[in-house]
């Protein structure tokens, strides 16, 4: 059975590779609606999507409004993500409802995008997605912004206003949670019990409004505020509200970054954070908990001819004031901390082949009731390696000039999972049993 599944996975990979090798080339971009709008090839904005170049970062900061293309097609694009997932040891009861314990094929996501230039200064990135594992359709990452430029005493200021639904989705560096590596993750492999609020809790559950400025293409400053959506609104938008702890009031988000471009190099160093009071599991009897996330990040990028290298790293420290959860019996302690670390290094050749290696680590205070792990610890850590082939970064096939694809093989190795390396669940499962191979195609047209 396993051999048969692997043969089918190999056949899928071979077919996708043949599509890439056999097609003629015309202009394309990572998101086809932007390709038609600008008339530019993908490699102008991306080293390997979704990783942005300096030009791509400025396109986004400018409100997605750059023109130049001649297409009269409507501003829509489609994304498909067929995947094959294999874990070192199968998951008892199945990887997810309707799927087997191991070696699962799935249409992991299918998305429709719209947006781009609306007026000279107003543009958007709007995504809606069908989750092929949860069998749920809903809104996805959304960023609508107004941008303009002004002279200030001999300095150039690009400023804007952003309305979005995911803290950091508006960011332009690949170090903050919404766009960090890995750009795709398996949804049919085990998921750690813990994670910082800013990394995984608020996406599509909030609406935020903020203002930003980018001074002399160097200093970026942003301040935004987020509110949780009403439960009825979330259900209408296709959001799963199970075990949700919404924000009480407004949660401020901040971002400061300095970028320096010198020759073929660019270097960014910054900080970001979110402070939120939340109602644990929507309960109000004991008041609210408080979460403060403070992150620091850095990105170095070298782009020279047909080669590019990008190093990304981030560190997030999260403080939990759990007075309400402790009073409600949802946590063992009144104060916990979590710390999250990510680092990755990519080498891209000719915008076509991408090799990436990365390290991830999460650790924090022991709290068995809060995290539900066997020994009470939230700690998870490991390594990710990925090779990807992007056949259309310099031009799409003749039958559809704006076609794009990323075909990849990703391996995740766990040193520790949910608090331990061995017998982490108390039932004999080891962290290495969750090691995952993901074969994917990321198709956009």
What DSSP assignment string belongs to 320-368? Answer: EE-HHHHHTTS-S-SEEEEEEEEEEEEEEETTTEEEEEEEEEEEE---H
Q: Are strands 136-152 and 122-131 parallel, antiparallel or unpaired?
A: antiparallel
Q: If 0-12 CB within 10 Å is exposed, 13-18 middle and 19+ buried, where does residue 90 land?
A: middle
Q: What is the pLDDT of residue 55?
A: 93
Separation of alpha carbons 295 and 317, rounded Å:
6
Question: Of 204, 134, 131, which Cα lies nearest the Cα of 166?
Answer: 204
Provide the token pair at 73. 């097609």
The segments of the chain whose pLDDT lies below 50 read 1-29
Q: pLDDT tens digits for 281-322? A: 999 999 999 999 999 999 999 999 999 999 999 999 999 999
CA atoms within 13 A on the CB side of 388: 32
Separation of alpha carbons 211 and 218, rounded Å:
17
Q: What is the pLDDT of residue 13?
A: 44
Tell me, yes or no, if the pTM score tops 0.85.
Answer: yes
Separation of alpha carbons 128 and 113, rounded Å:
7
Q: What is the pLDDT of residue 136?
A: 95
Instruction: Assess contact for 156 and 169: CB atoms under 8 A.
Output: no
Q: What is the pLDDT of residue 71?
A: 84
Q: What is the pLDDT of residue 30?
A: 65
| DSSP classification of residue 26 | B
What DSSP assignment string belongs to 90-158? Answer: --TT-SSTTS-SSSEEEEEEEEEEEEEESSSSEEEEEEEEEETTTTEEEEEEEEEEEEEEEEETTEEEE
Q: What is the pLDDT of residue 69?
A: 87
Instruction: Assess contact for 406 and 388: CB atoms under 8 A.
Output: yes
Question: Of 146, 141, 179, 156, which Cα lies nearest the Cα of 62?
Answer: 146
Domains of the chain, CATH where assigned:
2-444 (2.40.160.10)
Please identify which residue in the block is written with the tokens 């766990």: 414
Q: What is the pLDDT of residue 409?
A: 98
Q: What is the pLDDT of residue 400?
A: 79
């Amino acid at each position: 059975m396993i051999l048969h599944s692997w043969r089918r996975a190999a056949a899928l990979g071979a077919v996708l590779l043949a599509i890439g090798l056999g097609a003629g080339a015309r202009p394309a971009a990572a998101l086809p609606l932007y390709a038609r709008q600008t008339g530019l090839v993908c490699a102008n904005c991306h080293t390997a999507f979704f990783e942005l170049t300096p030009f791509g970062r400025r396109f986004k900061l400018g409100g997605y409004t750059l023109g130049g293309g001649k297409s009269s097609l409507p501003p829509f694009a489609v994304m498909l993500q067929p995947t094959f997932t294999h874990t070192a040891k199968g998951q008892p009861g199945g990887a997810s409802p309707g799927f087997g314990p191991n070696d699962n094929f799935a249409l992991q996501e299918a998305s429709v995008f719209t947006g781009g230039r609306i007026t000279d200064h107003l543009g958007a990135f709007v995504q809606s997605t069908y989750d092929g594992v949860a069998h749920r359709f809903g809104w996805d990452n959304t960023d609508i912004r107004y941008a303009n430029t002004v002279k200030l005493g001999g300095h150039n200021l690009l400023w804007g206003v952003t309305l979005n639904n995911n803290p950091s989705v508006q960011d332009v560096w690949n170090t903050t949670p919404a766009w960090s590596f890995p750009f795709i993750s398996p949804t049919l492999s085990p998921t750690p019990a813990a994670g910082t609020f800013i990394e995984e809790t608020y996406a599509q559950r909030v609406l935020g409004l903020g203002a930003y400025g980018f001074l002399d293409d160097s200093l970026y400053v942003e301040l935004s505020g987020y509110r949780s959506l009403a439960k009825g609104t979330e259900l209408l938008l296709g959001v799963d509200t199970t075990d949700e702890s919404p924000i009480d009031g407004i949660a401020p988000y901040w971002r400061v970054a300095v970028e320096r471009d010198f020759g073929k190099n660019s270097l960014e160093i910054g900080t970001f954070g979110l402070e939120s009071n939340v109602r644990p599991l929507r309960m109000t009897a004991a008041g609210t908990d408080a979460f403060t996330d403070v992150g620091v990040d850095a990105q170095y990028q070298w782009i020279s001819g047909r080669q590019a290298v990008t190093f990304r790293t981030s560190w997030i420290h999260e403080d939990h004031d759990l007075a309400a959860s402790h009073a409600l019996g949802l946590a063992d302690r009144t104060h916990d901390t979590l710390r999250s670390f990510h680092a990755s290094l990519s080498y891209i050749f000719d915008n076509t082949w991408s090799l990436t290696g990365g390290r991830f680590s999460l650790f924090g205070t022991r709290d068995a009731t809060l995290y539900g792990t066997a020994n009470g610890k939230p700690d998870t850590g490991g390594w990710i390696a990925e090779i990807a082939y992007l056949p259309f970064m310099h031009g799409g096939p003749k039958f559809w000039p704006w076609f794009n694809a990323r075909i990849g093989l990703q391996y995740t190795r766990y040193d520790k999972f949910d608090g331990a390396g061995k017998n982490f669940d108390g039932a004999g499962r080891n962290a290495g049993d969750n090691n995952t191979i993901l074969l994917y195609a990321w198709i956009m047209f």
